[in-house]
Chains A and B, each alone.
Chain A
């Protein structure tokens, strides 16, 4: 239970960086930290105590897996989520580069003031 609370604290720190910082790269860092914490939370929920990875080999057969393996379903969802996070980061970085080219600064409150 304390692991869950520490994970939500990590998500809260990411949200603080997204809301309260003015530099646009700090906002991107806040979003990235939030993504890490959410993926970690899904895998934490699916962990079985003293569990093994869900892969068969010559010594582990299907019945042992069904009794002792960790949950494979959150792992499938988190796998796609990590790669989607990379695509979103590429989009955010290109937006940041374009904003710098137009306004010559990374400061969001300056950009809000200048407005074209």
Chain B
């Protein structure tokens, strides 16, 4: 499908005003999501809230444009792949800690409290959880929107 034609197509998605604003807003939402994830050990936030914010950015893309534009940006295959990679890396970090003594041992050096690069495995765990939660919620939204329209389109 032609990507540029779909973006400017008037019959798909919402009006031109909504499309322009959501294109600008999506980059800010992604930036805010990354900030909440990365600074999770210094300010309130963490992996779960940041992951849901990242999912909301892609859901905004799907709602303003059509479902095909969102799938072209992040396809079904890649959404489930990021989900699995996030869960796997969280478990691998736990297992590597076994070398230090117990499961989930904080083996990376702690640094000075208050700086961005501190607190051992906590930023790494935050990133992997955010990737997992964001990809899973985006994938379930794709599922809810594909399989819902078939009821009114075909008369059983």
A residues within 8 Å of B by Cβ? 53, 55-58, 79-80, 82-83, 86, 90, 93-94, 97, 100-101
Contacts and interface: CB of A to CB of B under 8 A. Distances in A.
A74 to B, nearest CB: 15
Interface of B: 43-44, 46, 48, 52, 113-114, 133, 137, 140, 143-144, 147-148, 150-151
DSSP majority for the B interface? helix
Contacts, number: 29
Contacts of B113: 56
Contacts of B147: 97
Nearest to A100: B151
Nearest to A79: B48
Ranked nearest first, the 6 interchain pairs of A and B with the lowest CB-CB distance are: A90-B140, A83-B48, A101-B151, A97-B148, A79-B48, A94-B144
Contacts of B148: 97
Given A83-B133, A86-B137, A100-B151, A55 B43 contact: yes
